[in-house]
Amino acid sequence: MTYRHTTAPTQFVEVNGIRFAYRRFGPGSGTPLLFMQHFRGGMDHWDPTVTDGFAKSRPVILFDNAGVAASSGETPDTIDAMAEHAADFVGALGLSQIDLLGFSIGGYIAQTLAMRHPGLIRRLILVGTGPRAGEPPQDPGYAQYGAMTDPQTGQSPIETYLYLFFRPSQTSQAAGKMFWARRHTRKEDVDVSTSAQTMAGQRAAITEWRQPRGERFEELKAITQPTLVVNGHSDIMVPTINSFTLSQKIPNAQLIIYPDSGHGSLFQFPELFVTHATIFLDGSVVRTGV
């Protein structure tokens, strides 16, 4: 049986006292592509068009990091600690090398993992994210919508995603509603809601990430992997200028900005994003120098 986003069974692997929930689907061989999710997000917050698109040509792994959704333990309050948990998870699967896609806070963790464990990461995709001490959000509704959660389910309503992930244009909002429908196509063995502890831990980690560590942006030179940076042209959560900074400071980076889109550009243009990212993942290594 060939599993897809909606049918891949949830599996578990334990390491250092943490029981990590994950799903793996796609071909049995090739470099796996590991996905790292946004604030409060779990495995079912990904777009099946994106995950299944990649799974046509490579193994895909979705997982909940420590304390998140179906994984045990507590969510740490630093990005460094989250990256070490992710490294433990990859090691527990017996993988010596992966490709890595980090979205939003997942992009913070992905950068850190690439710097702390460079031999583990072959290629890096950073979407809707930014560097340590990057430019903070300025949108007046960011904090209000970012804190919106259904008290019964712990899930954010569609209005939150439409505001934070998509532009107010008719086209972008329509794409957001289509994403929302796709995101809810898995009906069985669904992930559990993220806890208040995870929300608090991730907020603290984001606050710490906004503080410089040494010379601003200097540490990005340590990311030597070929890197694809992707964003919408009007990201109000992690302002798009941060994507330009990543592309300028990471030695072997290239940048794609999608039009009339925001933080969730990969969900607004899922087929195009998969096409662009697949070309990048399958391409030859181009070294540009520091």
CATH code of the domain in which 162 resides: 3.40.50.1820
The answer to the question of residue 2 being in a domain is no
Instruction: Note the pTM of the prediction, 2 decimals.
Output: 0.95
Q: How far is the C-alpha of 11 from the C-alpha of 134, rounded, in Å?
A: 36
Among the residue ranges 99-113, 132-146, 218-232, 236-250, the one predicted with the least confidence is: 132-146
Element housing 206 (H / E): helix 196-209
Condensed to tens digits (0 to 9), the pLDDT of residues 157-198 reads 999 999 999 999 999 999 999 999 999 999 999 999 889 999
Distance in angstroms (rounded) separating the CA atoms of residues 67 and 61: 18
Largest distance between two CA atoms of the chain: 52
Helix (H) or strand (E) holding 143: helix 142-146
150 domain-assigned: yes
Instruction: Count CA atoms within 13 Å of residue 285 on its CB side.
Output: 9
Residue 288 lies inside a defined structural domain of this protein? no
* Any domain includes 1: no
Q: Which two tokens stand for residue 129?
A: 């994210």
The percentage of the chain sitting over the pLDDT mark of 70, rounded to a whole number, equals 95
Residue 6 lies in a domain: no
Q: Does the structure show a pLDDT above 70 at 149?
A: no
4: in domain: no
The domain in which residue 62 lies consists of 11-282
pLDDT band at 290 (very low <50, low <70, confident <90, very high): very low
The pLDDT tens digits of the residues spanning 206-257 come to: 999 999 999 999 999 999 999 999 999 999 999 999 999 999 999 999 999 9
Angle CA 241–247–252, to nearest 5: 175
- Structural domain count of the chain: 1
pLDDT at 62 over 70: yes
